[in-house]
Amino acid sequence: MLGINGPEFILLLIIGVLVIGPSRLPEYTQKLANLVKEVRRMASGAREQIKEEVGIDIDEVDWKKYDPRQYDPRRIIKDALLDDDTKPVSAGAPAAAATAVDTKPKAPVRVIERLAEGEAAPFDTEAT
């Protein structure tokens, strides 16, 4: 509660009683009780207003479905890449169509260019 532990809270209550005084203490406790009741009434009124505007019972909503932690981009991409959407080829299809479905795309061949012995590396004078 606002970073106040038990002994500090009791000390604040004692200081409040001494500052307010015993003659005005019942008046201030009644004001505090009315404030708490008003806040509770406002909170329940807001809950009822939300229920009316949304049209569904908030207690019945499956909040796990709306948890943003379940939308991990890495998992979504992995699922999309591993998803097997290929359709089986019928027996009457041409042979080229059957092999096109079965073959996987090949990775591009990486060409590494080496500098000749003693040749200087390219240098850009405008690079920062």
Question: What is the per-residue DSSP string for 54-72?
Answer: H-S-GGGS-GGGG-GGG--
**Alpha-carbon separation of residue 73 from 23, 64, 67, 83, 127 (angstroms):** 64, 17, 14, 15, 35
pTM of model > 0.75? no
- For residue 58, what are its two tokens? 């908030």
Lowest mean pLDDT among 23-27, 61-65, 83-87, 98-102: 98-102
| Per-residue pLDDT, 37 | 96
Give the residue-averaged pLDDT of 79-90: 69
